A and B are shown apart, each in its own frame.
Chain A
Amino acid sequence: MSVFDIIGPRMVGPSSSHTAGALRLGLLARGLLGRTPERARIGLHGSFATTYRGHGTDRAVAAGLLGMAPDDPRIPRSLEVARERGLDVRFEPLDLGPAAHPATLAFELEAEGERVTMVGASVGGGSVQVTSVNGRDVDLTGEYDTLIVQARDIPGTTASITHLLAERGVNIAFLEVSREKRGREATMLIEADHEIPDDVVEQVQAFEWVREARRLSKVTD
């Protein structure tokens, strides 16, 4: 939690959690897809479902999906910009149950036949917490470039990936490996201090034992 999270973000109003935080979640989801989505379906949980209009959450999410920053003056008319740029974005209420943070968004994005899902909460003052990526539970703040890898649970996979990162001078801040069952599929979350280059993501994806490699690009002001 940087001083700039407390004295910030610099943003277009009216709500840090329901406007700026929602935009940040939109940006993260866009980063996960790697491009501007063609279709976006957004589930609104808790206070998002009841107060999204007054907070401009729909405009904020659309702005994030389009890659705008939290202080972009186009945010109030982002739904119009979305139409111009071929982004079809829809909102619907969604009950994720009592365990979910009271301000949570669920994203389902598509572009060029690719589809990603992400669930994240806006935890206050513009800060966010991503809790699920493509159906896998995660716990990410979006403050680090993150590599999310789904791979077969066989020896040496983590070493191969960390080796690729080390070769490019990317320092690993946090590393977490989890699996459903021995020998089945494992999920690797690698949060890095430096930007994770595109070609590293491609090289990881090229490993025969990797089912999917995704980068969640960090979002800072």
Chain B
Amino acid sequence: MFSSLAEIVARAESTGRPLWRIVLDEEVEDADTTGERVLERLGERLATMREAVERGLHSDAPSVSGLLGGGARRFETWRAQGASVLGPFLGKVVARAQATMEVNARMGTIVATPTAGSSGILPAVLFSAEEELGLSEQDLVRGLLVAAGVGQVIVARASVSGAAGGCQAETGSAAAMAAGALTALRGGRPAQVSESVAFTLQGMLGLICDPVGGLVEVPCLTRNVSGAVQAVAGSELALAGLHFPIPADEVIDVMGQIGSELDEKYRETAKGGLAATATGRRLAASVRWDGPGFENTNAARARDLADPGPALAADADGGESHG
């Protein structure tokens, strides 16, 4: 596993091998497996990602809370009618970023890339590139490898956990991974892939994690849209040959540092930001806990949502503390 993008780029440049190959070789060595097996498993993951996007684009089913549902389909229909000024590539990205997140929010099956809360971004960029740039399945699997390399560096230097580092650690990381993958798939040099990560992540720095009602719904879904758009823009800045003066590894470091300095209320506790607005609190209190797959015993849950502590303790006959 790599601890810096500089190291991956240097290895690609010195060996003349593409980035995806550098990441693949490292995985084969670390995990004592074969390249074929890794590619096959990534192909399986890609198939799950594709199913989630398709299901999200074609269903109006509500999320478990009822706060979300049908947005991806609505946007896709509107876009396909020619109403959007984004153009087909970015328009598809915006629709698809919502699709996976809707499936995720109804407890459907997705692939965490790198997390479930940021799972809309990478598939949105990859599948839009497949359709609009004529990429193959094999290309997309290679894109997953480049994205994984970027993600590994982020985990080594910072975090991909919203509870540890805020939304910048989740959607910021996913956007950086998607930008790296897109840049590589469009023929960017290794150094440009690294530039695209820097351009993308710098724009996500400081983003807090403030989920309304503690659900992975609002604003997570639309933050995935922001991240996906940022990823495409970051990739294009790099492909056009622009240079961001702070190296990607340092941008990742500062993301981790900002995350550790974020107040707890901005780290997935639902105590700050949009979650703590008057409307955010009202929505949290009105959440339906009887959505698809939920049991009917949830009236009690809805009741004690406003005051979870005592209700929980009462549940647990006594409340002696654990070691």
Interface residues of A (CB under 8 A from B): 1-20, 41, 43-44, 46-47, 49-56, 71, 73, 75-77, 79-80, 90-94, 101-103, 106-108, 117, 119, 122-127, 132, 135, 193
Proximity string of chain B (174-201) to chain A, C-beta cutoff 8 Å, 1 when within and 0 when not: 0001000000000000000000000000
Alpha-carbon distance between A103 and B115 when the two chains are bound, in angstroms: 14
In the complex, which of the residues A18, A20, A90, A126 has the most CB atoms of chain B within 10 Å of its own CB atom? Answer: A18
Alpha-carbon distance between A54 and B42 when the two chains are bound, in angstroms: 29
| A101 neighbours in B (Cβ, 8 Å) | 163-164
Contact, CB under 8 Å: B105 / A6:
no
Alpha-carbon distance between A9 and B41 when the two chains are bound, in angstroms: 11
Q: Indicate which residue in B163, B315, B323 contacts A91 across the interface (CB closer than 8 Å).
A: B315
Q: Tell me which residues from 268 to 323 in chain B have a Cβ below 8 Å from any Cβ of chain A.
A: 268-271, 287, 289, 292-295, 301, 305, 308-309, 312-313, 315-317, 319, 321-323
Closest residue on chain B to residue A51 by CB atoms: B214
Closest residue on chain A to residue B304 by CB atoms: A53
Interface residues of B (CB under 8 A from A): 1, 23, 27, 30-32, 38, 41-42, 44-45, 48, 64-65, 103-117, 119, 144-145, 147-149, 151-152, 155-156, 159-164, 169, 177, 211, 213-217, 264, 267-271, 287, 289, 292-295, 301, 305, 308-309, 312-313, 315-317, 319, 321-323
Q: Given A10-B48, A51-B214, A125-B115, A93–B308 Cβ distance below 8 Å?
A: yes
In the complex, which of the residues A12, A76, A124 has the most CB atoms of chain B within 10 Å of its own CB atom? Answer: A124
Contact, CB under 8 Å: A47 / B294:
no
Contact, CB under 8 Å: A16 / B109:
no
| A3 neighbours in B (Cβ, 8 Å) | 23, 27, 38, 42, 144-145, 148-149, 152
Q: Given A2-B27, A43-B321, A124-B159, A16–B116 Cβ distance below 8 Å?
A: yes
Contact, CB under 8 Å: A119 / B155:
no
| A90 neighbours in B (Cβ, 8 Å) | 315-317
In the complex, which of the residues B31, B156, B322 has the most CB atoms of chain A within 10 Å of its own CB atom? Answer: B322
| B152 neighbours in A (Cβ, 8 Å) | 1, 3, 6
Contact, CB under 8 Å: B110 / A13:
yes
Q: What are the 4 A-B residue pairs with the smallest beta carbon separation, nearest first?
A: A51-B214, A124-B161, A76-B293, A13-B104
Contact, CB under 8 Å: B115 / A94:
no
**Closest CB in chain B relative to A60 CB, distance in Å:** 10
**Closest CB in chain B relative to A84 CB, distance in Å:** 12
Q: Given A51-B214, A56-B107, A93-B313, A16–B163 Cβ distance below 8 Å?
A: no
Q: Indicate which residue in A12, A13, A50, A71 contacts B269 across the interface (CB closer than 8 Å).
A: A50
Contact, CB under 8 Å: A125 / B112:
yes
Contact, CB under 8 Å: A53 / B214:
yes
| A52 neighbours in B (Cβ, 8 Å) | 214
| B267 neighbours in A (Cβ, 8 Å) | 47, 102
| A77 neighbours in B (Cβ, 8 Å) | 293, 295
Contact, CB under 8 Å: A124 / B301:
no
Contact, CB under 8 Å: B155 / A76:
no
**Closest CB in chain A relative to B46 CB, distance in Å:** 9
Q: Indicate which residue in B38, B44, B109, B151 contacts A6 across the interface (CB closer than 8 Å).
A: B151
